[in-house]
Amino acid sequence: MQQPLFDFSKRNTYTVSELAESIRACFAGEFSNVWVAGEISGTKLAPSGHVYFTLKDQAAQIQCVCYRTALRLLKFKPRDGVQVLARGRLDFYDARGATQFLVEAIEPQGYGALQLAYDQLKKKLAEEGLFSAERKRPLPVLPERIGIVTSPSGAVIRDMLHVLERRFPGRHVRVYPALVQGEGSIEQVIRGIQYFSASGWAEVVIVARGGGSLEDLWTFNEEAVARAISACSVPVISAIGHETDFTIADFVADFRAPTPSAAAEVVLPTLQSTLERFAGAENRLLQGLRWRLSAAGRKIEQLGLERARGALHRSINRRLQVLDDGEYRMREVLRRRLDSDRRRLVDLENCVQSLDVRVRFAKAHRRLDSADAALRRLVRARIDAAVSKVEPLRAHLTQLSPLKILDRGYAIVTNESGGIVKSAEDAPVGSGIRARVAGGTLAARVTEG
């Protein structure tokens, strides 16, 4: 007996759910921990907190999902157009019958290379001694002139200038505009540092930019920038990124500020704290002098050296006079500075007031009121002049009016058509006439002609 071509009794039959489970088990065994390189696109953040996106290259793409629990642990958040290395596992999504990649970790492509270059340069410069504490220069206590190398636009420079003006008004600040990221930024930052180093104008230089990724801050991890900071003739403050961001420039600079605003606070004390420091120094100096004078006085009294005590008193008095002169000069310098700052403040307030729209409106309103009053006076004068001309004409016209004759007993007679009756033919017998006299009008009918 011939065997059938297909033995349907031995075939394997799966339900859809069983087949999906088999595919998932296969993926779990073969693709449970893999790295995939590609470009992110179509990023979407779901209300659940999960992020969905696509990883693609020139020939293919795969759907990806990063669950909320894994997303919280990522240092790099998915963004469209970024080349990344994603670690995770393949999964089969039953509801759509689709294969998807469950992402557990992401890092931008090239990040590992940048980190290696960063570590190598850091080790090299450290061995040369560029990071050593001995070469760090102290910052000036109260610099008059401050140089800043940063981007002239954005919140960083605005925040720094605001902090500097608030803490100690009247300082001179010069900003060297430079790109802080991208092509040409390295050269511009170096030129800014070299400008302040060569000019000798600034007493301290701040190199600043806002936060960003390792790639964004890479300009300040370049060896050329580090050596420019090291060679600068004045102290340099590095204020790059946020508090957790560290660059090579931070290690080479004389002082590392956690943020640009913090650098502005470090470089200038407040005016009040400066005055308090002067007052504290004065008190300590006076206390020290009193103690030494008291100790010397007791010693002289014990030895009984009256002449020596007199000479010492004279010497002390002279020194006290020198101290008084120094205190007077110090107070005079502070007073002149405060007066200068107050005058600048008054000038600025006057300038602001002069630009106040309300003041301009008030001046314009006063001019309008003055013009309105002048116009009213002119119109009134013109009307009075016209009235004075019209009154004689009106009197003369009144004298010439034919109605004036009616006051002497005459009458003006008109026929039925309203025409003036000048002869008997104008009012035939039987027609009606009206006679206007001085006191009114009379109606009559002609009976004889």
| 79 and 118 both lie in a single domain | no
* Residue at a domain's end among 336, 351, 366: 351
Q: Side chain identity at 232, as an amino acid letter?
A: C
Whether 202 contacts 234, CB under 8 Å? yes
Q: Is 364 a domain residue? A: no
Half-sphere CA count of 347, side-chain side, radius 13 A = 6
* Residue at a domain's end among 63, 92, 107: 107
At 101 the pLDDT is 92
| 260 and 149 both lie in a single domain | yes
Q: Is 386 a domain residue? A: no
At 449 the pLDDT is 66
Each residue's pLDDT tens digit, 62-93? 999 999 888 887 766 788 877 888 999 898 88
Q: Is 395 a domain residue? A: no
CA distance 149 to 200: 15
At 207 the pLDDT is 95
Rg (CA), the chain: 51
At 1 the pLDDT is 46
Q: Is 180 a domain residue? A: yes
Q: Side chain identity at 20, as an amino acid letter?
A: A
Residues forming a β-bridge with 24:
none
Domain range enclosing 241: 113-131+141-269
| 327 and 239 both lie in a single domain | no
Q: Is 388 a domain residue? A: no
| 218 and 127 both lie in a single domain | yes
At 232 the pLDDT is 95
Give mean pLDDT in consecutive 10-residue pieces for the chain, a chain of 449 residues.
50 76 77 87 90 91 91 78 86 85 83 70 91 92 91 88 86 92 92 94 94 84 93 94 87 93 85 66 79 77 66 75 79 86 85 73 85 90 87 77 72 82 80 81 80
| 40 and 161 both lie in a single domain | no
* Residue at a domain's end among 240, 269, 298: 269
Whether 217 contacts 242, CB under 8 Å? no
Q: Side chain identity at 95, as an amino acid letter?
A: A
| 264 and 191 both lie in a single domain | yes
Q: Is 387 a domain residue? A: no
At 5 the pLDDT is 47
Q: How many domains does the chain have?
A: 4
| 319 and 206 both lie in a single domain | no
Count the Cβ atoms, other than its own, within 10 Å of residue 360: 11
Task: Write a three-state SS string for 32-72.
Answer: CCEEEEEEEEEEEECCCCCEEEEEECCCCEEEEEECHHHHC
| 74 and 151 both lie in a single domain | no
Q: Side chain identity at 132, as an amino acid letter?
A: S
| 409 and 281 both lie in a single domain | no
Domain of residue 180, CATH code: 3.40.50.10550
> Exposed, middle or buried by CB within 10 Å (0-12, 13-18, 19+), for 176?
buried
| 164 and 97 both lie in a single domain | no
Count the Cβ atoms, other than its own, within 10 Å of residue 272: 10
Q: Is 8 a domain residue? A: no
Q: Is 6 a domain residue? A: no
| 102 and 117 both lie in a single domain | no
| 117 and 241 both lie in a single domain | yes
